[in-house]
Amino acid sequence: MKISRRALMKYSATATAALAATRIFRPSGAIAQTGEVNLYSSRHYNTDDTLYNTFTDRTGIRVNLLEGKADELLERIKNEGANGPADVFMTVDAGMLWRADQAGVFAPISSTVLTEKIPEYLRHPDGKWFGFSKRARVIMYNKAMVESSELSTYEDLADPRWRGKILIRSSDNIYNQSLVASLIEANGLKSTETWAAAFVKNFARSPEGNDSAQIEAAAAGLGELAIANTYYLPRYLEDENPKKRAVFEQLGVFFPNQSDRGAHVNISGAGVVATAPHAEAAQKFLEYLAGTEAQEFFAKGNNEYPVVEGVALAPAVAGFGTFKDDSINVSTYGENQVAAVALMDRVGWA
């Protein structure tokens, strides 16, 4: 069977059709195959292929990977029902994991490995999903236009002195929804709405594009500050194009709220599907993701922060410096998501 480089999302009513769209990872050595795990993932990083291949090499368990957008994958799992093939659902935002849990997708699992290695605030309180990498949503600033000493907190970004200077994605971006949800948890709904109403007045332009678009606009001087996840910036340093590498040099990274609760962090995480046909293999896969080897793949393969202490960062990420992250349980991003979206709509965050 010819396996496509990237799986195309097509809804199907049968497990056969679902698995036909996957990429299959096979052991490179002589390890006997002992099982398989069907992974539905909205992560879209080529570096993860090595992670899956290595898991297969270590365990003999084949990974059948189906990639797509998180909402589409979630809907697919629901449509496939009790006889569906999905074993693991993996996505890149705690708010999306919360949505999946609310839809009854996950089964709670009991794993000493996961509860000992993954901090409590980065996993579901009842063991339904776990964070395996962290991504900090920070302030990136044009070093020719802003001094780091001028920056302090997310709340301060509503100050009128930043009028026309802030670049950020639209309100339908789940990273921003989770950021606002965390502010609701920290400061309350009324205070956060007051903040957001002032914050949108400081936008340099109507929100457009992804995090990379905000970074490039800040480097070009279209705004002075960009709100983005840290892992986007090192990609510019790794680019062969000198103009792209220059973007990395033009921007500084500032971690907000270091004198109080800490910088906002989100996760890439996963859980075992309640109807998983290979539940034991699925749990082994999650436990592998919490191991040092896999944590290094997350850290160095995609410039993310590991969730397990003691794992080395990618050099560019380490260069951003150490920081305190907000230890609020990330499940609250989902709990406050509806309120966050409604609030953003009310204040005119496009």
Q: Is 52 annotated as belonging to a binding site?
A: no
- Spatial separation of the C-alpha atoms in residues 223 and 164, rounded to whole Å: 7
Give the CA-trace dihedral at 215, 219, 222, 227, to 10 degrees. 30
Closest CA to 68 of 42, 92, 48: 42
Distance between first and last Cα of the chain: 45
Q: Is 232 annotated as belonging to a binding site?
A: yes
Residue with tokens 């096979």: 26
Helices 279-289 and 48-59, packing angle to 10 deg: 120
Relative to beta strand 35-41, strand 61-67 is parallel
Question: Token digits for 225?
Answer: 């500050």
Burial of residue 302 (number of CB atoms within 10 Å: 0-12, 13-18, 19+) = buried
- Spatial separation of the C-alpha atoms in residues 205 and 208, rounded to whole Å: 8
Q: Is 121 annotated as belonging to a binding site?
A: no
Per the annotation, binding residues for Fe cation are 44, 231-232
Per the annotation, binding residues are 44, 231-232
